[in-house]
Amino acid sequence: MNPVKVGICGLGTVGSGTFNVLARNRESIQARVGADIVVAQIGARRDNPACDTGDVPVARDIFEVVRNPEIDIVVELIGGTTVARDLVLEAIANGKHVVTANKALIAEYGNEIFAAAQEQGVSVNFEAAVAGGIPIIKALREGLAANQVEWLAGIINGTGNFILTEMREKGRDFADVLAEAQALGYAEADPTFDVEGIDAAHKLVILASIAFGIPLQFDKVYTEGITRISTEDVNYAEELGYRIKHLGIARCDDEGIELRVHPTLIPEKRLIANVNGVMNAILVKADAVGPTLYYGPGAGSEPTASSVVADVVDVARTLTAEPKHRVPYLAFHQDTLSDHPVKAIDEIQTAYYLRMSALDKPGVLSQIAQILSDAGISIEALIQKQPPEDADHVPVILLTNVTREKALMSAVEQIQSLDSIDDEVVRIRVESLAG
C-alpha cells in the first residue's frame, strides 16, 4: 500500500504536536489505517525547538506545500483568517484534502470553503476546531446521526472556565485570576477572544451547524463575555445551588434556532457543572439518545494534535481502504492484532480499602501495621472509631498505597488469621483515575 503523504502548514504549538504524535505513534497508526502516513513536507516561517523535523523538508514559503504534487492531505495550522483562507482555498483548488484546527476560519469562511471543496471532490475536516481533543464533531456528524438534536450546551473555552473555577473555589476576583491565566499561558496577552466569548462563539456556530444542518452563521450569535461576573454573584449562585459557567448554547425548535454565548447559572448537580479548570465539555440533548456528554482537554499541543491526526487518519482510511473496510472491526487491522498477554489478577497493581473488625485492646493496630509494613505496604489513611457501647470490637478502616495484589492478599490473609480480628477483612480496590 502506498503511503499517504501529509503536508503540515504551521509549526507552532499544534503543528509541532501534530508532527510529534504522527512520529511517535506511526506504527500503531499504520496498524489502524493499513497504510503508512508520512509527513512529506512542512511549511513554516521558522523552526520550533519543540519538534525535531529530522530530514523532512521544511519550506519557508508555506504555499509550496499546497502546490507540492506529492501531497495528498494539507494540514492547515497557521491560524487566522487571511493567509489561512488563501492557503486552504488553493489547497482545495489543487485537489488536496484539507485538515484544519482553525475555528475562526471555519466559522467565518466555512460555507465558501465547503462549496469549493464539494466542487473539487475533496474533504475538509476540522475536528480540532472545536473543543481540542474531544471528538465532538465526529460524535455529532456520525455517532448521533440517528437523532434530531434538540439542544447542546458547551463549556468550550478553557480559559474562561479556568477563571470561573478559580473565582468559585478560591474566592478570587476576575482580574486577579485573568492575570494568573496569562502568566500560565492559558490566556493570551490580549484575552478579548477568550473572555468576551468570541472564541466560544466561533466554536458554537460550528457545533450548531452540524447539529441542526444549517449553514454557518457567525454573525447571528449573541455573545456575552465573563468580564462582568463578580465573586459576589458566584457566591450567591452557590447559595442557590448553582454554578456559573460560560456556556455556548444552541437550541432548535419550530420557531427557530438559538445561538448564544453567555455566563449561565446551572444546577450544581449536573455533571457539566462539575467540569472545572481548563477542561471542556459539551452536553448534547437529542431525541433518540437523550442526553450525552463529551469531556476532555479543549486546548494544548498534543490534545489538539490528537484531533488533527484523527482527521488525517479518517481521510487516509478513505484514500487507501476498501470503503467497506474503512474502519477495521477492532480498530486495528486483523493481521496486526497483538498477542500482548493479559495479566493474572494477582499481578495487577492497585491501592486498597480494607475494613476489619478488631478487638479493642492495645497492640492490635500495631500488629496490623507491622504485617502491612513487612509486605512493603504503607497506610495512606486510617479511620478507627470508638466501639459501640458494650461491644469489644471496633471497626478499623485503612487505605493502602498502590501495591501488587499478590502482596496485599497475602498480608490480608495474615491479618485475618490474627486472634484479635473478627470475621473476614473487607477488601475493595481503590483507583485514583488521575488524568
Residues designated as active site? 203
Instruction: Pick one of 46, 49, 60, 334: the residue that binds a copy of itself (CB under 8 A).
Output: 334
What are the backbone dihedrals phi and psi of residue 413, each rounded to the nearest 5 degrees, phi first?
Answer: -60, -45
User: Is residue 215 at the binding interface for a copy of itself, with CB under 8 A as the rule?
Assistant: yes
Burial class of residue 20, CB neighbours in 10 A (0-12, 13-18, 19+):
middle
What does the block give as the cell for 239?
Answer: 447559595
Beta strand segments in 179-300, E: 222-223, 242-253, 256-267, 279-286, 290-297
Q: Is 300 annotated as a binding residue?
A: no
Starting at the edge strand found earlier in the chain, the sheet holding 97-100 runs: 58-59, 37-43, 4-9, 73-76, 97-100, 124-125
Touching a copy of itself, residues 247-306 (CB under 8 A)? 247, 249, 251-252, 255-260, 262-267, 270-272, 274-275, 283, 285-297, 300, 302-303, 305-306
Closest contact distance (angstroms) between CB of 189 and a copy of itself is 26
Q: 7 a known binding residue?
A: no
* Interacting residue with a copy of itself among 3, 12, 57, 143 (CB under 8 A): 143
Instruction: Between 199 and 302, name the residue whose CB sits nearer to a copy of itself.
Output: 302
- Helices marked H in 34-101: 63-67, 83-93
Minimum distance between the CB of residue 186 and a copy of itself, rounded to whole angstroms? 15
When binding is defined by CB under 8 A, the residue of 179, 184, 348, 391 that contacts a copy of itself is 348
Print the SS3 string covering 230-246.
CHHHHHHHHHCCEEEEE
Q: How many residues does the chain have?
A: 435
**In terms of CB distance, is 144 or 368 closer to a copy of itself?**
144
Q: What cell does 35 get?
A: 497504510
Using CB under 8 A as the binding rule, whether residue 1 contacts a copy of itself is answered as: no
Shortest distance, position 408 Cβ to a copy of itself, whole Å: 13
Distance CA(64)–CA(60), nearest Å, equals: 8
Q: Is 124 in the site for a copy of itself (CB under 8 A)?
A: yes
Residue 188 marked in a binding site: yes
- Contacts with a copy of itself: how many residues (CB under 8 A)? 144
Let me know if 421 is exposed, middle or buried by CB neighbors in 10 A (0-12, 13-18, 19+).
buried
Location of C-alpha cell 466542487: 119
With contacts defined by CB under 8 A, name the span among 4-12, 71-79, 145-153, 412-420 that binds a copy of itself: 145-153
Smallest separation, CB 339 to a copy of itself (Å): 8
Q: Kindly tell me which residue out of 114, 182, 196, 231 binds a copy of itself, with binding defined by CB under 8 A.
A: 114
Quick one: 124 or 375, whose CB is closer to a copy of itself?
124
Give the chain's end-to-end CA distance (angstroms, integer). Answer: 37
Q: Which helix (H) or strand (E) holds 14?
A: helix 13-24
Burial zone of 400 (CB within 10 Å; 0-12 exposed, 13-18 middle, 19+ buried): buried
Q: Identify residues 85-104 at the interface with a copy of itself (CB under 8 A).
A: 97
The correct pick among 3, 50, 172, 332 for binding a copy of itself (CB under 8 A) is: 332
- Here the cell at position 295 is 469531556
**Interaction residues for a copy of itself, span 376-405 (CB under 8 A):** 381, 383, 395, 397, 399
Q: Which is nearer to a copy of itself, 1 or 345 (CB)?
A: 345
For residue 374, the minimal CB distance to a copy of itself (Å) is: 24
Identity of the residue, 72 or 199, whose beta carbon is nearer to a copy of itself in the bound complex: 72
Decide if residue 338 touches a copy of itself (CB under 8 A): yes
**Amino acid type, 182:** Q
Position 310 contacts a copy of itself (CB under 8 A):
yes
Q: Which region among 38-46, 57-65, 176-184, 340-348 touches a copy of itself (by CB under 8 A)?
A: 340-348
User: What is the spatial distance between Cα 40 and Cα 396, in angstroms, rounded to a whole number?
Assistant: 63
DSSP assignment of 64-131: HHHH-TT-SEEEE-S-SSSHHHHHHHHHHHTT-EEEE--HHHHHHHHHHHHHHHHHHT--EE-GGGSS
Span interacting with a copy of itself, options 57-65, 72-80, 235-243, 411-419, rule CB under 8 A: 235-243
Residues between 192 and 211 with contacts to a copy of itself, criterion CB under 8 A: 209-211
The span from the CA of 245 to the CA of 247, in Å, is: 6
Beta-bridge partners for 250? 152, 259
Written as one letter, the residue type at 426 is V
Task: Tell me the three state secondary structure of residue 43.
Answer: strand
- Binding flag, residue 133, a copy of itself (CB under 8 A): yes
Is position 17 an interface residue for a copy of itself (rule: CB under 8 A)? yes
Using rule CB under 8 A, residue 141 touches a copy of itself: yes
Which residues are documented as binding site for NADPH? 103
Which residues are documented as binding site? 9-16, 103, 188
